[in-house]
């Protein structure tokens, strides 16, 4: 039996959309937890951290906080943040540099 052309791609695309939707939906959910002490939802990068991560923290607050409940950066793994940022870079009209800075900030938690 021969596979249906394009079927494996459509299944992979459907799985990718489901994963992205799950990550984005989780970001919109509210929790009963006490709000974090900082405006970004995560510890600010230490002064020894790269300036890129510090700029990313500011961009995270300015851009992501408009639509999402700010979660601690360690709520998701680096791989999960990568997937979310691929989607949200387009949705939030972020530049490649802004996306890179936000990811640098999110990775400071790991």
The predicted pLDDT at position 66 comes to 82
Helices then strands (H, E): number in the chain? 4, 0
CA distance 63 to 99: 10
Nearest to 105 by CA among 50, 28, 47: 50
Any idea how long the chain is?
A: 110
The predicted pLDDT at position 31 comes to 39
Domain ranges of the chain: 47-110
The predicted pLDDT at position 13 comes to 54
- Does position 48 have pLDDT exceeding 70, yes or no? no
pLDDT, one tens digit per residue, over 83-106 is 999 999 999 999 999 999 999 999
Nearest to 52 by CA among 90, 91, 108, 109: 108
């Amino acid at each position: 039996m021969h596979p249906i052309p394009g079927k494996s791609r459509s299944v992979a695309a459907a799985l990718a959309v489901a994963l992205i939707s799950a990550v984005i939906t989780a970001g919109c959910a509210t929790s009963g937890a006490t709000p974090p002490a900082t405006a970004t939802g995560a510890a600010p990068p230490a002064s020894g951290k790269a300036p890129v991560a510090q700029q990313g923290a500011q961009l995270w607050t300015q851009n992501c906080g408009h639509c999402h409940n700010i979660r601690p950066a360690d709520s998701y793994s680096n791989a999960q943040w990568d997937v979310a940022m691929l989607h949200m870079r387009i949705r939030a009209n972020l530049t490649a540099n802004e996306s890179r800075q936000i990811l640098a900030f999110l990775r400071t938690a790991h």
